[in-house]
Structure 1
Amino acid sequence: MPTCRRKRVLLTEPSPVLLDALKHDPAREVFYLAETGEIFDHYEAYAARMSFYRLKQFQCEVTGKSGLDYFQALESERQEARTMHSRFPDQLKAAVLKAVQWQVMGRLDHLVEAVYDRFKDRYYPDEKVYVDIQGDKYLVRVIEVSAQGSAAPPQSPVPVASTSTASSPLSSDVPTPIHKVAEDLKIPVKDSIAIDDPVKYVYKVQVLEEEKQPGFARTAEKNKGKESGRGQWSGTFMDVKCAAMGRDRLAFSKSILRRFIRDCVDRDAAVASPWTVKPAIAARYGVSSVMPDDIRKGVETLKKGEIDKRKKVWEDKEGPAAKKRRQMAEEKAEREKAVAEQRQREERERVEQQLKAKEENDRLTDKKKKKPIRYPTEDLDVVLGDKERRAGMKVKRPAPSKLAMPCGDDPETNAHFLMSYNFLVVYGQPLHMSTFTMDDYEAALRHSAIEPRCQLLAEVHAALIYNLRTVPFNRHSAVMSLVALKEEEDMQSEVFGITIDDLTTAMADVGNNWERAPLRHSEGREGWEESLIGCLKDHATVENFPRLREILTRLLFAPEESQEPSGSAAPTPTTSPTPPRLTTPTAPSQLYHKLPHKDRIAVIAFMCNLAISSKAIHAHMEFCEEQLTALRKEKIEVNRTKKQQCACQPSLRILLTDRCPIKPRGHGALQGEHKFEINGDGDTIMRDSSDLSDAPGSENEQSRAPRRTAAKERELARAKASSVKQAVAEHRRLDEEVNKLERRLEGIEREFRKLLGAVRVKPIGRDRFYNRVWWYDGMGAASLIGSGGTVQYTTGRIFIQGASEFDRELLSRRDENIEQRRLVEEGPEGMLGSNDWAVYNDIEEVQEFMAWLNPKGVRELNLKNALTKWWNHIGPGMRRRAADLTANAKIPEARRSARKSAGTELMREPYMQWTNRKAVNGQ
């Protein structure tokens, strides 16, 4: 059952009105939620429940995945349950379920430990296990289990006349019950072994064929050309004991056993409630669902004992005279309650009289005070006043451009484009791909020349193909879905002149070896187009990829030569393009350059959606989670150290002030006085204003006393100057330490953004109308700072996405006319639908957008703070992109040399000069 905030989500029961209608009005129309089986009598309740299920706040209880909606979490649990049930041995299921039925244990872990200890050395007929024969593991099938006799060592097999996998005939038609003592968990483990020792069991097993052994293909390739003795055991029978046997850890382990028991049993929340097998599963595996009388009496005794124990503990806490004190306390509480009620009644009457008098006074004076608004507040409650307008705050937001999006005014294609680009850049490390800009990615998707080939396209497809080789797939799923589509249609339809039969025939011999075909970087990923066809054949269906048929037809069939457009002729802008008629089967490598960029984006987006479930991506996400935890701890330590360093600086300033007093100058200054000054370098200079000299002379004793006094003052002044100099040096050191800590905090913020982008991608904020603002730079494998501290960019733009359906529903619930307000503050050209995208390309537009944001609103305050925080990277990145676009713009030449080919000009484009420096050798 999916969980929400660590609590199980309970389904909504039908209301009493619906239950009553079932009896009196069976034909009443209701709202039915098919995924959960819930029934609602009003659409509002149905919509609210559906909105709740669509929130990304649910967690799969089995795998622990979070950030899912209810249906995704439910599907994840079902998928894990199907995987677990397919792996767990069927022969063990009934025995394990009979053992756990009616067991009273507080923790599931204790139950799993007890079951595992009982069944780890016990095996059942027809179960597939591993046997150790002369140091090698062989997969065998248990034919017969016997508790009599002694077993021959597995090194001495008994050969049979036939090597077929058919089981040998048993000695008796009536099966003998085995391992029955293990199913009773009330018997201790030691006693169960003494009664029914698993070591005494003898298992007759048959070694399976060599082709069915694990790692057969790898071993055969390794021993190719050499004689191997492994085949001599295939099909033979032998008698073994449990010491030489073992199960696959993917089929039977404590973790798998825990998941199986948790999926099959349940327990009430009452004290000392037993674990019970779910009724449907119990009926399937023959487990009794009726609690025996002796077990029921034992459970009731346990419950009573547990309740009495808790009651006794509670009474012991209260003390021996608790009952009497409790009665006295209750009587006192009743008296105090009566007195309090009387006081409340009197106070209520007094307050009501005061309120009536105040209301009358307010009505007469007409001076009602308005409650002041505390900012920040809800953004839509903030209205610009005359003061803000006079201060220059913008009323209308600068309109972002829809046509400047990479795919124009096509919301679905833009969403696929941005998703696929973000995926390829964020997961560049597990995909072994260097980063590239969004402009290069857009230009590569529009590359339409067969020569020279675009290396960026080849690397993107090769990286995804290598990744999808590790994702489970169904062989020929595309062909089967196309055949099913053909059976649903009444007539033989055509797409571009090609029927489904023609398409499946052309698909038969293309890309069949895609999961093993090498796509080497040193060879320019040659053959990736055929591997792409094979990948789509095994991963795609018409249901999960609706454009599958059209794309495969374009990649496998070419038009006739008479239909090919000539190089000089160009279609006139007034004629609308007609769909081509394809007839000639052709290799995909010769046709991919003709595929429209919209279909290319759809293919890459589909592959990215599949690749997100691969092991490499999951391992990278877990690594990023660990690094994020380490960064959080480091940030706490750095902030603590910075706070300590900053706390020391004020005391140093006071010390410098105290040790550098300003002495007055004048006629009354004493001789021998010294003044201290600090120069621009922080060094302390001592100036002596005395004219006395330490040289010996013939003065009398009265003149010697002032000289000795002046010498002492000089010594004190030198000591004071030395301490001041040390204080200045310490002040400088603390300043440098604080600066280093601040630079480290900035680095932590950049690293945090990179790692967080690999775990979950969130918008940088939302405006007052819930439009989402996206900035994709500096996430995943991309970096905001290059070598030498230069600013880098990958997109160099700010994207705006319309509000989601859920947010639009919140807008519609407000009393005011939101659409009219949007017309005023966004303009008709700036209003975006729920799936619309627009972009700010110029830095001046972004600055105007920031000026339009009102910090009195909660959402826009957070958005403005985020943009301000990263402005040192957003602004320079947009400027650098604008400079690169200007530098790469083609300037028309007055005279172009005829020897310059179109291919040479194309190779100068930035996207054609990109190279993958992270490519793995051998791939």
Structure 2
Amino acid sequence: MDFYKQKRFICEITGHSALTFFDALKSETPLSFKEDFYPGENVTVAINGGERLSGTIREKTRFQGFLNQDGTMQPPFQRYFVRLTNQPDREALVDEKHLFRDRKAFTKAMLRSFIKNTVTRDAWTGAPWIVKEHIAVKYRIDTTVPQHLTYASHIAEKKANLAQKKDDTNSISVMNGMVQTLPELRPKSHKSKQEQALGKNQKLREQTHRNESHGTSGAQSNGGSSFINNFNHNFPVIRPPPKASHTPTPPPLKLPAEDLEIPPARNVPHRPPLKHLSQDNPAHAKGTKNVEGNGILMESVGSLLETWNTLNVYCEVYCLDSFTFDDYVEALQFSSEDVECELFVEIHCALLKLLIEDDGSIAVRLPEIPDDDESNEADSSINTSTIPTPEPEAKPKLKFVGRRTTRSSFVKVEVVPLGTHRAAEMLADYDWVERLKKNDFRNGGWEVVVIGVLFQLSLNPKMKDVCESLLAKLAPMDEEPTQETARLQYQKLDINFRTKILQIICMLTIDTKAVRDYMDECSEQMTQLRKVKIEWQRAKRVATEELRQLEEERKILLPDNLPSLTELQTDTTGNAKTTGANVAEDEEEAADSDSEEPRAARSLRGGEHRAANRKRKREQEQEKKEKAEAAAKAPKVSNQFKKILKEIEKRKERIKECEQEITTQDNDLREADCFRTKVLGKDRFHNRYYWFERNGMPYAGLPTSSTASAGYANGCLWVQGPDDLERVGFIDVPDDENRQYQKKFKMTVAERKKLEEGSTSLTNACHWGYYDEPDSLKSLLSWIDIRGVKEVKLHKELLALQERITRYMEARKRYIALNEEKKQQSEEPTIRMSTRTKTYVGATSHRCLAWRNTTALSELGHLHSDPPRPTRRAAKRAELDRETRSGRQGKLPTRQGARYNF
């Protein structure tokens, strides 16, 4: 019984704790709402046989009470239809006495946890509970606070009450010079007794002064002649002052607030001007272009950044060296018939090779090309059913189905047009999948594979328009469907079409098993790195605590191991005396030497050397003597104190090691985070800011890359315009909201955007700009208003990364300046440069030509564009075949008519 009498039980209904078992049972007994159940609730049903089954209440029926024949009253009761979980075809009709709830599903603790996880409130007394944003969005709950529950109404009501109290105080008559008012009820003060006494004295003095002023002013104003009902009394009447109209002032803005709700500051400089990579940037008028442009359209900038980021984040999967963004853009712009850009070719070949598994199967889902028989049957059925009487005006379109083997088919092809491209004819004899299996990429091979991929993707209705426009450029109708045509047409493509092709192929490779496995490996690696980081953090905490304890011990032992004040004074006096004696001795020696100068003519040989030796010996003896005296006067440090000092140094080294390891783990976590590109934040106008080196790649690219000397990867802070969903709802607002905003801030949101962003404003998500100067980054930080909800986060991220961003901006500037100098030097006229009527293209004039795929050479043994080298067994077998095919004289058969492979 002692256990049940302990005050450790809780009433499950009220939540009251610190009760005995009997008190808790007594508290739960009279409360019967627990026996009321509702449809949709999961309960436990007790059947007459004693079996308990779980079920869900389907329907609840309530019956009213009635009077029995014997005069007794039948109380109201309920009946429940319960659908049994394990027996869906059966239902139980029971009352509340046979239903039970799970004890863990209805407690005050769970209710408290539910409230904590679903609602929130502001930090002022009386603030209403508001459903959290993700819950409100999920269940479509309106979170608009009623006007009478807002903070402004609360403040206005409080001020009105205070004003009413003042009016009531002034309206009460004055008796004997004292105002008779009822005591005001206030909460208990937390001040000390002395502070309360001082406050009371101060109030008494103010009250006395107020009464005196009222008396004098009343007597003066009435002149002793103002009486009520001609009653001659000597007490003046205090009339209440006229009530002032109290207009509730708006409450102070709670910070951080919504960015566009913050009043715009005056005389603030514009946002630093953005630079644009594209030729048709939004600063120019519509339909006009720069005269000296690079040919890049604004709609291609996002694709350029996307493909570059994908290739560098997953460069280990593609087996590519990392490369800078500037080299990538230059490689996509480079085109020459004499010089091959290795970066451009290797990117395409690496992406295409990932579309095929090791066993030769296609690694991605592509639309299937219909068979020739099915297409022929479909065409014949269409011809027989829909063209009984042909019209001369209509021009039927012919769909290419397989090879042309009859004369009639040749005639038909000559008469009827074949569409917008000849990709199917180019792939008729040599399928792109077979070419990809054999790594036949040379002399236009990979260009034909690209055409095959685009042709098969064009069968998808969503991709048809894009692929058809690209195929019309690569396999035009007025050119022969050959491999050489594909190579030449790809050289003529501008950077916008090339970027579009790379974006399509990159999106295909993301769905391959190789990339998914790489993501899984990175996820597992991040889990291990977090564990290691936690261990180092724990070791740092232990070392920090030990260092704190050692510092306390050192402070305790420090007074016993310091020199006393008398020793310090003696040391100072002794040093001064010694210094004075040395000075006097030097002066005497100098005087002797001066006096002996006239007699130096008859001195012996080597006398000066002997005097110098004696002086040097005296100085050495004096130095030894001073060191001995200093050692004797030095305080004797205890061994325990020395040991503590050594331990302190060890702990400091340990903490430093832990911090270095934690930094290393953080950097590894950042590089392994390859799942998505993270945005730094958004400004007040919903522009997004990106620094692509933030996650998924090293800050300066792979250290083993052939262009690692550049010292950067992207080197720019990129800005993307607002998304359409955000632009329509926050910038392009309805007219009524626009008028309210203009009434409040004297301008619309669009006018504010134009005013604060300047001429380089971005209108939608397809528009991009960038900063590449450290000064622009500083100006951007000063332009950002940290009072806003979004901009305070953006400012925090930029401030944390400012040093790194500045470092790689400067590295990019040095790299481009160095290459510009080399380009100028290469453009100078050189002596004895023979190009044999060909345009000379050197690596110094184009940065992208200096890139080499060393990763493929080290891991594969060859470039992606080259066929794999034969193994030793295959080489030996080829040698045996050559010996068997050779003649009696050991010569090989003639090679006339064969194809030469150099």
- Give TM-score scaled by structure 1 length: 0.50
> Contact 1:478 / 1:537 at 8 angstroms: preserved in 2?
no
Alignment deviations for residues 684-730 of structure 1 (CA, whole Å, 9 cap, x no partner): x99989999xxxxxxxxxxxxxxxxxxxxx9xx75x43333322222
Is residue 2:777 matched to residue 1:861? no
Tell me, in whole angstroms, the C-alpha distance in 1 between the residues paired with 2:342 and 2:568: 88
Partner of 1:731: 648
- Residue 682 (structure 2) aligned to one of 755, 766, 776: 766
Residue 56 of structure 2 is matched in structure 1 by 270
- CA distance, structure 2, for counterparts of residue 787 and residue 297 of structure 1: 62
Match of 2:319 among 432, 439, 457: 432
Residue 603 of structure 1 and its aligned partner are, at CA, apart by: 0.9
Match of 1:641 in 2: 539
Which residue pairs with 1:665 in the alignment? Answer: 565
Q: Deviation of residue 669 (structure 1)?
A: 9.3
Shift of 1:411: 3.2
Q: For residues 585 and 660 of structure 1, what CA distance do their matches in structure 2 show?
A: 87
Report if the CA contact (8 A) 1:376-1:858 is conserved.
Answer: yes
1: CA distance, partners of 2:301 / 2:446: 25
1:642 is matched by which residue type in structure 2?
K
Letter in 2 for 1:534: G
The answer for unaligned runs of 5 or more in structure 1 is: 1-105, 107-267, 274-293, 319-350, 561-581, 672-684, 693-713
Q: Is the 8 A contact 1:402 1:838 kept in 2?
A: yes
How much does 1:453 deviate?
1.6
Q: Which amino acid aligns with 1:380?
A: L
Matches within 5 A, 1:597-746: 597-661=495-559, 662=562, 664-666=564-566, 718=636, 720-746=637-663
CA 1:732–1:309: 2 relative to 1, 3 Å = farther
1:311 aligns with 2:100: yes
Indicate the residue corresponding to 1:874 in structure 2: 805
Tell me the equivalent position of 2:63: none
Deviation at 1:748, TM superposition (A): 2.7
Mapped contact 1:554–1:591 kept (Cα < 8 A): yes
Determine the structure 1 residue equivalent to 2:850. 913
1:752-779: CA deviation from partner (whole Å, max 9, x where unpaired): 22222x2122212111111001111254
C-alpha separation in 2, matches of 1:665 and 1:723: 23
Task: Report the Cα offset of residue 867 of structure 1.
Answer: 1.9
Classify 1:597/1:519 alpha carbon distance in 2 versus 1 (closer, same or farther; 3 Å): farther
Match of residue 588 from structure 1: 486
Residue 899 of structure 1 aligns with which residue?
Answer: 833
Deviations along 1:87-138, whole A, 9 cap, x unmatched? xxxxxxxxxxxxxxxxxxx9xxxxxxxxxxxxxxxxxxxxxxxxxxxxxxxx
Contact preservation (8 Å) 1:853, 1:864: yes
Residue identity opposite 1:425 in structure 2: N
- Say which SS state the counterpart of residue 912 (structure 1) adopts: helix
Give the CA deviation at 1:358. 2.9
For residues 306 and 918 of structure 1, the distance between their equivalents in structure 2, rounded to whole angstroms, comes to: 76
**Which secondary structure state, in structure 2, belongs to the residue aligned with residue 839 of structure 1?**
strand
Give the direction of change, closer, same or farther, for the CA distance of 1:602–1:368 in structure 2 (3 Å limit): same
TM-superposed CA distance for 1:451, in Å, is 2.2
Q: Is the contact made by 2:331 and 2:343 (CA closer than 8 Å) also made in structure 1?
A: yes
Describe the shift of the 1:635–1:304 C-alpha distance in structure 2 as closer, same or farther (beyond 3 A): farther
Deviation at 1:519, TM superposition (A): 5.9
What letter corresponds to residue 517 of structure 1 in structure 2?
L
CA contact (8 A) 2:684 2:790 kept: yes
Instruction: Report the Cα offset of residue 806 of structure 1.
Output: 2.0
- Structure 1 residues 865 and 553: CA distance shift in structure 2, 3 A: same
2:320/2:350 contact within 8 Å kept: yes
* 1:906 match: secondary structure: coil
Task: Give the Å deviation of 1:595.
Answer: 1.6
What letter is aligned with 1:896?
T
Q: 2:769 aligns with which of 815, 829, 838?
A: 838
- Aligned match for 2:344, one of 457, 477, 483: 457
Conserved in 2, the CA contact under 8 Å of 1:440 and 1:911? yes
**Structure 1 equivalent of residue 471 of structure 2:** 552
**AA in 1 matched with 2:830:** R
Deviations 1:491-531 (A, max 9, x none): 5799xx9841862553342651425534659x869721122
Structure 1 residue 536 and structure 2 residue 454: aligned? yes
Cα drift, residue 366 of structure 1:
5.4
Q: 1:460 to 1:271 in 2, by over 3 A?
A: farther
The aligned amino acid for 1:548 is C
Q: Structure 1 residues 558 and 357, CA, compared in 2 at 3 Å: closer, same or farther? A: closer
User: 5+ unaligned residues in a row in structure 2: which ranges?
Assistant: 1-41, 43-53, 60-82, 108-155, 168-242, 280-292, 357-362, 387-392, 399-415, 572-625, 742-747, 861-866, 869-902
What is the distance in 2 between the residues matched to 1:490 and 1:302?
69
Query: Within 2, Cα distance between the matches of 1:602 and 1:765?
Result: 27
1:686–1:637 distance in 2 versus 1, CA, 3 Å: farther
- 1:131-190, Cα deviation, whole Å (9 max, x unpaired): xxxxxxxxxxxxxxxxxxxxxxxxxxxxxxxxxxxxxxxxxxxxxxxxxxxxxxxxxxxx
User: Given that residues 322 and 701 in structure 2 are in contact (C-alpha distance below 8 angstroms), is that contact kept between their aligned partners in structure 1?
Assistant: no
Report the Cα distance in structure 2 between the residues aligned to 1:686 and 1:545, rounded to whole angstroms.
93
Instruction: From 724, 733, 738, give the equivalent of 1:805.
Output: 724
In structure 1, distance between residues paired with 2:490 and 2:342: 14
Distance in 2 separating the partners of 1:458 and 1:357: 80
**Contact kept in structure 2, 1:840 and 1:846, CA below 8 Å:** yes
CA distance in 2, matches of 1:508, 1:374: 67
CA offsets per residue over residues 329-366 of structure 1, 9 Å max, x none? xxxxxxxxxxxxxxxxxxxxxx9999556368697385
CA distance in 1, matches of 2:371, 2:694: 38
Show the counterpart of 1:176.
none
**Matched AA of 1:794:** A
Alpha-carbon contact 1:764-1:866 (below 8 Å) kept: yes
Residue 838 of structure 1 aligns to a residue whose secondary structure is strand
Partner letter of residue 907 of structure 1?
A
The structure with higher relative contact order (CA 8 Å, sep 6+) is 2
What amino acid sits opposite 2:767 in the alignment?
D
1:411-449 Cα offsets, whole Å, 9 max, x none, are 321122111111111111222222111111111111211
Matches within 5 A, 1:255-334: 270=56, 299=88, 303=92, 310-311=99-100
Amino acid at match of 1:471: V
Shift of 1:450: 2.2
Partner-residue secondary structure (3-state), 1:546: helix
- Residues 498 and 784 (structure 1), Cα distance of their counterparts in 2 relative to 1, 3 Å cut: farther
In 2, Cα distance between the equivalents of 1:907 and 1:669? 75
After TM superposition, the structure 1 = structure 2 runs for residues 404-443 of structure 1, keeping only pairs within 5 Å, are: 410-443=297-330
CA 1:647 to 1:500, structure 2 compared with 1: closer, same or farther past 3 Å? same
Aligned to 2:770, the other structure's residue is in SS state strand
Does structure 2 retain, via aligned residues, the 8 Å contact 1:455–1:912? yes
Does the 8 Å contact 1:511/1:534 carry over to 2? Answer: no
Structural mapping, 1:363-402, within 5 Å: 364=244, 371-383=251-263, 394-402=268-276
Over aligned residue pairs, what C-alpha RMSD do you find?
4.9
1:736 offset after TM fit, Å? 2.2
Identity of aligned residues (%): 21
CA distance in 1: counterparts of 2:468 and 2:647, whole angstroms: 74
When residues 652 and 602 of structure 1 are mapped into structure 2, their CA distance, relative to the original with a 3 A threshold, is same
Q: Is the 8 A contact 2:711 2:812 kept in 1?
A: no
1:823-866 deviations in whole A, cap 9, x for unaligned? 22101332432321111122222222122112222222221221
The answer to whether the 8 A contact 1:559-1:583 is kept is: no
CA–CA separation in structure 1 for the residues paired with 2:675 and 2:666 = 15
Q: 1:184-195 to 2 correspondence within 5 Å?
A: none
SS of alignment partner, residue 531 of structure 1: helix
Q: Of 742, 750, 775, which residue of structure 1 is paired with 2:691? A: 775
- The structure 2 residue matched to 1:826, chosen from 757, 775, 783, is 757
**Distance in 1 of aligned mates of 2:833 and 2:782:** 53
